Amino acid sequence: MPQVIQSRIILLIAAFLYFFLCNQYHVLANAAQITVLSDNEEELNSNVLAEGKMEDSAPVSSSWWDKLVRADLKDSVPLDPPTELLPQTYLAKNEKIEQFQEKYEEFAKNREEKMKKGVMGNDTRVGLVLWHGMGDSGLASGIQNFAHKVEMEMDSYVTTQSVVIGDSDPSDRFYSYFLPIADQIRIVCPMIAQWTAEHNVTEWHAIGLSQGSQFLRAVVQQCGSVRISKLVSIGGQHEGIFGLPFCDAMQQSAHSNLLCRWVRSFLEMGAYVPWIQEKVVQAQYFHDAFDMERYTSGCIWLPKINNQVTVNQTYIQRMSSLDSFILIKFNDDHMVTPRESSHFEFYELGSDQKITPLRESQIYQQDRLGLRVLDKTNRLHLLTSDGEHLRFQWDWFVANVIPLLKA
């Protein structure tokens, strides 16, 4: 193999390792800082989903890669601190975590009694489902406690579920990096269908955190057996990412700016290499702002789910059927580049500076996902919160999001 090609391969691998490690470091270092503070194929085996069966929680294929990721990962994948979210996320002022947990246990007991007595009603049985972000786990205490806080505020859900892929906390975190998104959706669709049957749920409210936002949107679009009526996207990347976390925060330094652009240039070079696309989750929503053709032909997931390759009318119909689609952007988000992706906005073609507003974008103007219909009927809600990625105050959430879920 020529030395030039070898060098490029090494640089590509180094760039993606940097991307992975940078994100993993951010998750670990900031975990304790987040505050609340074909169309037929794309139906994802509809016959299986309609029956609500989930034969196996592992990927469909049985390659060496799948055998690797199904191995015991507890010694190789670092865990977040015991509580990812600061107490302000779900606790009252001066309230201890133990006190909150006691309150929730009492709340859950009272809810169970209400359900037995039929006080909560039988016509509409609403459940809550959450999908965590990159490097996190549905089993993490922070995710669980946030879900419980939403439960207590709503006081109407018959069940609350958090998506977990794999059989452990470490495997769920690992899959968030290295299990193809389409495989994740194939696993989660029958998972939610099974919960629907077990708890007699008539509709779901869904809350996605970071990349879990666009994954839950894919569930809406592709899972015919699951009825999601209200979808909350918290810091999602619906138009993808183009850059490295925190690079725009380091623009003051010419050296760091040069480094960011250097690494991103190699990310651009390698993002659409087939084996990287097949194995790295974040590459599957990497959106090249300078080459639309390369993005739509090389990226195997996001262009399809955004109807940017061919228009799937089923996707439009299912998105248009949402009662509410709530998109939350963080004004100081340095994790998502550009942060406007949380509002379905992205760079103008050929620029990495100027943003095309949602209502001027092709996806809105041509109504490729039903966003214009939702907007014109007051069902699309674009919210902004000050602070970094996923850092928001609980009082803000109660004042801005809870009323939309209750409406």
CA torsion angle 43 48 51 57 (round to 10): -110
Amino acid at 148: H
pLDDT tier at 264, thresholds 50, 70, 90: low
The answer on pLDDT for 262 being more than 70 is no
The answer on pLDDT for 382 being more than 80 is yes
**HSE (side-chain half, CA atoms, 13 Å) at 205:** 23
Are 340 and 395 in contact by the 8 Å Cβ rule? The answer is no
The answer on pLDDT for 79 being more than 70 is no
What pLDDT score does 7 carry?
46
Q: What is the mean pLDDT of residues 52-79?
A: 37
Instruction: Please give the mean pLDDT across all residues of the chain.
Output: 79
Instruction: Specify the higher pLDDT residue, 327 or 243.
Output: 327
Residue 347, φ and ψ in degrees, nearest 5: -60, 150
The answer on pLDDT for 11 being more than 80 is no
Are 130 and 209 in contact by the 8 Å Cβ rule? The answer is yes
What pLDDT score does 80 carry?
32
pLDDT in tens, 272-286: 999 889 988 999 999
pLDDT tier at 34, thresholds 50, 70, 90: very low
What pLDDT score does 69 carry?
39
The answer on pLDDT for 218 being more than 90 is yes
Are 322 and 379 in contact by the 8 Å Cβ rule? The answer is yes
pLDDT in tens, 101-136: 888 888 888 888 887 776 665 567 999 999 999 989
pLDDT tier at 344, thresholds 50, 70, 90: very high
Q: What is the mean pLDDT of residues 27-36?
A: 38
CA 394 distance to own-chain centroid? 20
Residue 115, φ and ψ in degrees, nearest 5: -65, -40
Q: Copy the structure tokens of residue 254.
A: 């010419």
Which residues are known catalytic residues?
210, 333, 389
Bridge partners, residue 383, by sequence: 328
The answer on pLDDT for 253 being more than 70 is no
Predicted TM-score of the model (pTM)? 0.80
